[in-house]
Amino acid sequence: MTVTIYDVAREAKVSMATVSRVVNGNPNVKPATRDRVNEVIKRLNYRPNAVARGLASKKTTTVGVIIPDISNVYYSELARGLEDIATMYKYQTIISNSDNDAQKEQEIFNNLLSKQVDGIIFLGGTLSKETTNIIKTSSVPVVVSGTHDLDASLPAVNIDYVNASKEITEKFVQDGVKKFAFVGGGYSEKAQIDILEGMKSVLSANNIKLDDASIYIGQEQYLDGEKAYEAIKSQNPEVIMCISDEQAIGIVHAVQDDGKDIPNELQVISFNNTRLVKMVRPKLSSVMQPLYDIGAVGMRLLTKYMNDEQIEESKVTLPYSIVYRGTTK
Amino acid sequence: MTVTIYDVAREAKVSMATVSRVVNGNPNVKPATRDRVNEVIKRLNYRPNAVARGLASKKTTTVGVIIPDISNVYYSELARGLEDIATMYKYQTIISNSDNDAQKEQEIFNNLLSKQVDGIIFLGGTLSKETTNIIKTSSVPVVVSGTHDLDASLPAVNIDYVNASKEITEKFVQDGVKKFAFVGGGYSEKAQIDILEGMKSVLSANNIKLDDASIYIGQEQYLDGEKAYEAIKSQNPEVIMCISDEQAIGIVHAVQDDGKDIPNELQVISFNNTRLVKMVRPKLSSVMQPLYDIGAVGMRLLTKYMNDEQIEESKVTLPYSIVYRGTTK
DNA sequence: GTGAAAGCGCTAACAC
DNA sequence: GTGTTAGCGCTTTCAC
């Protein structure tokens, strides 16, 4: 029924080995033979069985992707970048949603290993200690994109959130801002830690306090923005620094509904830089980060590991820039 | 190095066949033997090789997903629904972006077949004639979610765009609207055809003309919304019906920048119902469609085909509702 | 209830 | 350049 390499060999009057050579582009085949084999392949509509090939060669040209939630704009942008590079290097991607749940992560990881993927890329979210440990004992290469493991020992690609946060905070301090607030939550525990670290270092250097009542940790969602504002408004912040764009947009609307003017009475800035930033009025000030590239570079790094290429640097830090749009003065 | 079924068999003093039975939950194993085997599996940390299993059993528990663009909010929502159901039925998903390009679709399709996927789900976009033909000759089941093939012969899940369009158009006609405009483009050729069909049937029944100058076909993107408005504003439409939310939001902002009041001077309604609809002010009126479910139901349908379950209906039409929010009167 | 053995479709030595 | 052969790790008859 299905055409196998054996059928092709018989029909072309060569051995399976020769057919295999032709299919795999091995140069040690006489052009005439090659042509004959190719003709038969076409005529019989032969399609190599990747599963059999995977079993024999121990390479599946498949990589696993563990992602918190593909329907989240931020992550789907990373996924697109990663997938494009994978395709470029002839890999297919098995994508699974973890909801940033440590147990699901581990199940997915084991499934991927059992499918004999050549490599795994872990996106965003937070890497739990257990997951990190399992990863470290595995023999397939793993790259982390858009987050770190807790002790930053795995190959990873990121932007420098600490610095971005410092830069922004300094700018506001120089503008005379005294009351800061921070809004985080969702999958971005690592970003949260970094951004708070940046804020706190600058603020304490300037003797400005960031008390707990001005920190809100919720969900990275639009509707949660309202809750966030509700939670911190009594502190009368002059600036709200928010990880997620979607949440920030929720805040902007909640503030406006509260009758306050943005940016004159309250400024908002976010760190995600999804396409959403331009879809609000006023446009959202944000840290521009190359989402697509974070995914793409992560996958490129993974291909290097999978092909045993020389790795200069297992940690890649991509540049960011800060764009002050309408929600800041 | 890697532990195989043979290692487990030797260690547990049984044959490979018995280990295989235990792993696959075959009941014909004495409980005592089962326990012993399970103990060894655990001790040796044995993990079945899915590739070998796939080769032997001709089932890979993997399904292929062909999607126009995973970074598009609309499609990533479908993808999430589909993936959840796949996980529930123990399938993994290989996801590839086609950019709605017929040639890429076919390449992806062939790659998936070569990987011996148990089924394929085709999302959104437009199915070209060639792709449709290839699909029809393939032996793996294929389900189409969020679009139809041109002669609607493949199993598919959709909402009834024609009716939704009629309903909306009738409402506006009753409100006395005389000048309609339509904005489409991007991946949604099928939706476009259906929506225009619905509009035209109602309009012609009411002797209202929809001339070509009031139809704009562009890209499903925010920035394209401005272009769309630029292109049709000279026609002074009272209502713009737009497939994509993102594009519709672009239109809303372009209209506002033009100094016109929404909804009093111009009304806008869209058909995608992504999360974006609530993230603009005024909130976007739109056709509510169950994106997550379109993906989920599609995958459920596919599992039925893969498991040779009874199929009552190969075409599923999911309900929609029309929500008039702030961009309509 | 359990084992032996034949494949699944391919790659990768190795020989010629 | 090309063919032979032995696996890759598992499932699946078929015996017993």
Instruction: List, for residues B216-256, the tens digit of each pLDDT value.
Output: 999 888 999 999 999 999 999 999 999 999 999 999 999 99
Considering only CB atoms, A92 lies closest to which of B47, B111, B276, namely B111
Q: Does any CB of chain B come closer than 8 Å to the CB of residue A50?
A: yes
Evaluate if residue B153 carries a pLDDT over 90: no
Average pLDDT for B90-101: 96
A301: left (phi over 0), alpha (psi -120 to 50) or beta: alpha
Mean model confidence pLDDT for chain B: 94
The order of strands in the sheet holding B285-288 is B215-218, B180-185, B239-242, B267-270, B285-288, B321-323
Kindly report the CA angle at A294 between A288 and A295, in degrees rounded to 5? 135
Q: What is the pLDDT of residue B66?
A: 97
Does residue B263 have a cis peptide bond before it, meaning omega lies within 30 degrees of 0?
yes
pLDDT tens-digit readout, B131-148: 888 898 888 999 999 888
Report pTM.
Answer: 0.94
Residues of B with Cβ-Cβ distance to A222 under 8 angstroms: 275, 278-279
Considering only CB atoms, B79 lies closest to which of A47, A70, A84, namely A70
pLDDT tens-digit readout, A3-16: 999 999 999 999 99
Q: What is the pLDDT of residue B322?
A: 97
pLDDT tens-digit readout, A50-78: 999 999 999 999 999 999 999 999 999 99
Residues of A with Cβ-Cβ distance to B77 under 8 angstroms: 71
B71 falls in which pLDDT band (50, 70, 90)?
very high
Chain A nearest-CA residue for B49: A114
Q: Does any CB of chain A come closer than 8 Å to the CB of residue B201?
A: no
Q: What is the pLDDT of residue B185?
A: 82
Chain A nearest-CA residue for B57: A51
Which of B2, B4, B76, B84 is most worth mutating to test chain A (most A CB atoms within 10 A of its CB)? B76
Q: How far is B114 from chain A (nearest CA, A)?
A: 5
Q: What is the pLDDT of residue B127?
A: 85
Residues of A with Cβ-Cβ distance to B292 under 8 angstroms: 71
**Does A95 sit within 8 Å of B51, measured CB to CB?**
no
Which of B106, B226, B279, B281 is most worth mutating to test chain A (most A CB atoms within 10 A of its CB)? B279
Evaluate if residue A159 carries a pLDDT over 90: yes
Q: Does any CB of chain B come closer than 8 Å to the CB of residue A113?
A: yes
**How many Cβ pairs closer than 8 A exist between chain A and B?**
131
Chain D: nucleotides below 7 Å from protein CB are 1-5, 7-13
Cα A96 to Cα A99, A119, B93: the distances in Å are 9, 14, 7
Q: What is the pLDDT of residue A161?
A: 94
DSSP string spanning A66-113?
Answer: EES-TTSHHHHHHHHHHHHHHHHTT-EEEEEE-TT-HHHHHHHHHHHH
Q: How far is B39 from chain A (nearest CA, A)?
A: 19
DSSP string spanning B123-165?
Answer: ESS---HHHHHHHHH-SS-EEEESS--TT--S-EEEE-HHHHH
Residues of A with Cβ-Cβ distance to B93 under 8 angstroms: 94-96
| Choice between A318 and A2, residue whose per-residue pLDDT is larger | A318
Q: How far is A295 from chain B (nearest CA, A)?
A: 12
pLDDT tens-digit readout, B249-280: 999 999 999 999 999 999 999 998 888 999 99
Considering only CB atoms, A80 lies closest to which of B71, B256, B279, namely B71
Other residues' Cβ atoms within 10 Å of the Cβ of residue A50:
24
Estimate in Å the CA B205 to C1' D6 gap, whole number: 76
Average pLDDT for A157-165: 96
Separation CA B131–CA B182 (nearest Å): 28
Separation CA B276–CA A73 (nearest Å): 11
Which of B1, B59, B71 is most worth mutating to test chain A (most A CB atoms within 10 A of its CB)? B71
Chain C: nucleotides below 7 Å from protein CB are 1-5, 7-13
Q: What is the pLDDT of residue B271?
A: 94
Q: What is the pLDDT of residue A150?
A: 72
Chain B nearest-CA residue for A251: B279
The string over B128-140, giving b where at least 16 C-beta atoms fall within 10 Å of a residue's C-beta and e elsewhere, is beebbebbeeeeb
Chain B nearest-CA residue for A247: B279
| Residue A70: Cβ-neighbour burial (10 angstroms; 0-12, 13-18, 19+) | buried
Q: What is the pLDDT of residue B188?
A: 72
Beta strands in chain A (DSSP E): 62-67, 92-97, 119-123, 142-145, 156-159, 180-185, 215-218, 239-242, 267-270, 285-288, 315-318, 321-323
| Choice between A220 and B291, residue whose per-residue pLDDT is larger | B291
Spell out the residues 6+ positions from residue A225 whose beta carbon is closer than 8 angstroms to its own. A183, A242, A246, A247, A248, A249, A250, A251, A252, A253, A254
Separation CA A90–CA A61 (nearest Å): 7
**Does B50 sit within 8 Å of A115, measured CB to CB?**
yes
A1 falls in which pLDDT band (50, 70, 90)?
low
Residues of B with Cβ-Cβ distance to A94 under 8 angstroms: 62, 92-95
Estimate in Å the CA B26 to C1' C1 gap, whole number: 11
Point out the residue nearest to C1 (C-alpha to C1').
B29
Q: What is the pLDDT of residue B91?
A: 98
What is the share, in percent, of chain B residues with pLDDT greater than 90? 85
Q: What is the pLDDT of residue B217?
A: 95
